[in-house]
Amino acid sequence: MHWVVQNNLFNEQGFHTLMDVLAHGSIPHTLVKVIPFGGGIEPTLELSGPVIVMGSLSLTRYAHEQGWTPGAFINDRFDFRVWRRHLGPHLLNAEATVHRFADVPEQSGPFFIRPCLDDKAFSGMLTSWDAFSTWREQVLKLDTYATVTADTPVAVSAPRHIQREYRMVVVDGRVITGSLYKLGDRVVASAQVEPEVHAFAQRMAETWGPDRAYALDVFMHDGGLFIGEFNNLNSAGFYAYDVGKMVAAVEAMRF
């Protein structure tokens, strides 16, 4: 498989580890620059056979346009509304209400809001009604390109106190590796994942998944484990997960 990796995206150790794994394994790979606003990549590539990309959503879209297989593991099932239909109470914010961005009703206290889609329209955030309504007014007045529009579907829910956050990598229904990436409000990167977290992620992977490969974020809330969200593997941060295991699992896939 040929790996196409964006050269200016990941400012973390995992990026360097990925490049080392590909080089030491003699796995074909190319570093590329992604040209903004749909301008393609540099250098341009003529590739045959399996190709996978690691980088921004712009690069995943480019892979799709090129018809690369697998290219990127991204589809319309990376959507909160779909997750809830399949996994219901296992979602941290299963009771969230869904609205158009322009139609979010007034909230009486602090609330959490996130896009329904894994399209990085904006980062999920805890906010107040005053702060949100001011921001929304500014966004809706824009007459230039914006990632958020009046029609962007969003999920709104009550705040949750999250003790720990983990990123787990799933390939063909099997949890391959994982990382603790947040402890309370503190960002960390630790490969130490408790057995019960791994077991929970594996049960969820056996229940349903949005694609053959993905990043599953598991949150600990009030001592219980819940699904926080699904992310496309190609654009998700590495934190401290075992990049070598991820590469080996993807390389073993057949298309």
Q: What is the pLDDT of residues 118-129, one digit of tens each?
A: 888 999 999 999
Instruction: Give the residue with greater pLDDT, 156 vs 9.
Output: 156
In the structure, what pLDDT confidence band is assigned to residue 182 with cuts at 50, 70 and 90?
Answer: very high
pLDDT exceeding 90 applies to what percent of the chain?
Answer: 90
Cα Dmax for the chain: 57
CA–CA separation, 129 vs 174, rounded Å?
41
* pLDDT surpasses 70 at 219: yes
pLDDT in tens, 138-156: 999 988 878 899 999 999 9
* 3-state SS record for 149-179: CCCCEEEEECCCCEEEEEEEEEECCEEEEEE
CA–CA separation, 69 vs 121, rounded Å?
26
- Rounded to an integer, the average pLDDT of 12-18 is 85
* pLDDT surpasses 80 at 10: no
Encoding tokens for residue 177? Answer: 């590796």
* pLDDT surpasses 80 at 12: no
Domain 162-241 grouped into CATH 3.40.50.10800: no
- Rounded to an integer, the average pLDDT of 187-194 is 94
In the structure, what pLDDT confidence band is assigned to residue 95 with cuts at 50, 70 and 90?
Answer: very high
The pLDDT value given to residue 38: 79
* pLDDT surpasses 80 at 37: no
pTM for the model stands at 0.94
Task: State whether residue 46 is helix, strand or coil.
Answer: coil
* pLDDT surpasses 90 at 191: yes
Q: Which residues pair with 29 in a beta bridge?
A: 3
The pLDDT value given to residue 62: 95
Helices marked H in the chain: 13-24, 57-66, 80-87, 129-141, 195-207, 243-251
Of all helices (H) and strands (E), which one includes residue 54? strand 51-54
Domain edges within the chain: 2-71, 93-157, 162-241
CB distance 115 to 125 below 8 Å: no
